[in-house]
Amino acid sequence: MKITWVEWNEDKTFKKDHDEPAVGRSLFMDPDLFDYTWLTTTITEILEQDENGYVHFHTENSEYILIKD
């Protein structure tokens, strides 16, 4: 599984990928490479996160909880 946090340029083009979430980034998740891919809108608020990979956050239009195993 690949999980990446994508940072965007002001014109909404790709800028850089990261290992950690932050406001202004999007979650890109590809659990089965090339079979299913998910990209969220940008993060507006991180509500909770821990060192084990749990992240609870709001995006421009949704709320997510990510739990890494």
CA distances from 63 to 43, 47, 60 (A): 9, 10, 9
* pLDDT value of position 34: 60
- Owning domain of residue 15: 2-66
Report the domain count for the chain: 1
In the predicted model, residues of the chain with pLDDT beneath 70 are: 1, 31-35
pTM confidence score: 0.85
Can you tell me the distance from the alpha carbon of 59 to that of 64, in angstroms, rounded to the nearest whole number?
A: 8
Query: Cα(59)–Cα(69) distance, rounded to whole angstroms?
Result: 22
pLDDT one-digit tens code per residue, 28-46: 988 666 667 889 999 999 9
**Distance between CA 17 and CA 56 in Å, rounded?**
19
> What are the residue ranges of helices labelled H in the chain?
none
